[in-house]
Amino acid sequence: MAESDSHASSGSGTKGNLWKWLWALNVPTKIKIFLWKCAHGILPTKTKLRRKGMDITPLCSRCELEEETIEHALRDCKWAEFFWAVSPLRITWTRTEERGSIGDWLNRMRQHGETESQGLFAFLMWSIWSARNRFTFNGIEEDHNHYLRLATSRMEDYSGVRSEGVTLGHQPATEQWKPPAEGVVKINVDASIREKSGTGIRVIIRDWKGQVLKTPSRYFPSEYEVEVAEGLACREELQLARDMELKQVVLETDNLNLSRRLARPADDLTYFGNVVLDILDLAKNFDSFSPSFIKRSGNIHGPDAISQVASIIPNIWNGTGKILVE
């Protein structure tokens, strides 16, 4: 498959508008330049390098089925397709849909995307290219969840969301696990998505002394979007907290969008929106309930770490998504 030479829509005005938009994005300069290279078709893909005389196969290193063009590397490869589908932007295509070039895609985002989505889109593109480079040159393969979190955490760090200490409900954003107030129980939740394997969920429930009360793990064979997976985990664990007759609860997750939605509910008819409403309905069972956001490194590497989420073995799942380990 030949790489398109008309990466952005024709016309100097369109190209000028695209560059002005890229320059105005709230992302690092290196990502702006990266997107500019995408739009002009000058990323060093394997197809491009072979055209320049390098003695390499033009096939994609991951799927080994199609030539690695810019469009294939960042969007059309099965790995990239799945990445976009489970990302917070939930981008999918039909088989017959005309996708156009990456330049055309950027122009559509410029014209129709919301400001916050545009910034996230840029970080997601950069994250896909980073994943491609690590796999192509170092043979390092990480699951999609790793790069999704990398993109969102970079965006949050760059935009100053964390450094400014955004308050979510009654709990400020934190970078490491901290015990709740006396008499309060904190529930930390993390989810990991593996293509073809499903969704793994790990939870730690601790009291104000740091004592572990429960560590349930769950596995679902379905591939959920990241925020949906974390939402489902939160819903399940609030049901458990209710059954444990806990009275004061802090629910802590490293998914910023979920934390924001729990603190500031909004009308949303999507599946994710319904999960959020379920969580808020369950929260009525407690004397006090506060959602909290924590940096992923603190959620994973804190005391009694929530780690090895994706290593939950699918073949011991009992078919109902019930607790595997306590």
CATH superfamily entry for domain 167-325 = Ribonuclease H-like superfamily/Ribonuclease H (3.30.420.10)
Residue range(s) occupied by CATH 3.30.420.10 in the chain: 167-325
| 302 has a pLDDT exceeding 60 | no
| 47 has a pLDDT exceeding 90 | yes
> Quick one: average pLDDT of 15-33?
87
| 195 has a pLDDT exceeding 70 | no
> By C-alpha distance, which of 207, 239, 203, 204 is closest to 219?
203
- Residues with Cβ within 8 Å of 132's Cβ and at least 6 positions away in sequence, in order, are 61, 62, 73, 74
Q: Could you please report the per-residue DSSP string of 180-213?
A: -STT-EEEEEEEEEETTTEEEEEEEEE-TT--EE
| 46 has a pLDDT exceeding 70 | yes
* Predicted local distance difference test score (pLDDT) of residue 160: 58
* Predicted local distance difference test score (pLDDT) of residue 97: 64
User: What is the number of alpha carbons within 13 Å of residue 290 lying toward its C-beta?
Assistant: 18
* Predicted local distance difference test score (pLDDT) of residue 170: 40
144 φ, ψ (degrees, to nearest 5)? -60, -35
> Quick one: average pLDDT of 217-227?
69
* Predicted local distance difference test score (pLDDT) of residue 307: 41
* Predicted local distance difference test score (pLDDT) of residue 269: 63
Mean pLDDT of all residues belonging to the chain: 77
| 322 has a pLDDT exceeding 50 | no
In tens, the pLDDT along 284-299 reads 888 888 888 887 666 6
> Quick one: average pLDDT of 183-193?
82
Rounded to whole angstroms, how far apart are CA atoms 262 and 325?
Answer: 27
Rounded to whole angstroms, how far apart are CA atoms 129 and 263?
Answer: 33
| 318 has a pLDDT exceeding 50 | no
In tens, the pLDDT along 135-179 reads 998 888 887 888 888 888 788 777 754 333 333 344 445 567 788
| 125 has a pLDDT exceeding 80 | yes
* Predicted local distance difference test score (pLDDT) of residue 80: 93
Beta-carbon count within 10 A of 168 CB: 21
Pick from 23-27, 80-84, 140-144: least confident: 140-144
The DSSP call for residue 316 is G
Beta-carbon count within 10 A of 2 CB: 8
293 φ, ψ (degrees, to nearest 5)? -105, 140
Pick from 180-189, 207-216, 305-314: least confident: 305-314
